């Protein structure tokens, strides 16, 4: 999705293509790495997700919310994914995948 936005805005620009590569391969992984570092050492967090329909496509965002002594209340995007289903089982399975992929522990999850 990020790639499509940049392509639409800069369809004829090599610079935009280079920006896409930097965002996808450097900034995005680094930002996820920072979130994971903040959540180490049993920091409690909550998970938030929402769906957005674009035509027949269902796009989901997964975010975490937690408290940091240095930054206060933090709200960070952890993942974007597309899934054809919006039922509770599919959402749960995707949330489990995102947490597992990022090495986050369900024991630190709190429902708000």
Angle between helices 14-22 and 2-9 (to 10 degrees): 160
Nearest CA to 61 among 105, 96, 95?
Answer: 95
Taking only the tens place, the pLDDT of each residue in 33-60 is 888 888 887 889 999 999 998 888 899 9
Q: CA 1: distance to chain centroid?
A: 12
CA–CA distance, 109 with 65 (Å, rounded to integer): 10
11-38 pLDDT tens trace: 666 776 777 777 777 888 888 888 888 8
Q: Which of 86, 83, 74 is nearest to 39 (CA)?
A: 74
pLDDT at 2 over 60: no
């Amino acid at each position: 999705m990020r790639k499509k936005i940049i392509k639409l805005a800069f369809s004829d620009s090599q610079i935009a293509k280079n920006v896409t590569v930097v965002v996808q391969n450097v900034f995005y992984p680094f930002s996820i790495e920072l979130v994971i570092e903040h959540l180490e050492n049993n920091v409690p967090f909550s998970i938030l997700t929402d769906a957005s329909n674009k035509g027949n496509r269902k796009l989901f965002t997964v975010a975490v919310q937690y408290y940091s002594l240095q930054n206060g209340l933090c709200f960070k995007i952890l993942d974007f994914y597309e899934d054809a289903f919006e039922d509770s089982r599919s959402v749960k399975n995707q949330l489990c995948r995102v947490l597992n992929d990022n090495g986050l522990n369900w024991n630190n999850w709190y429902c708000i």
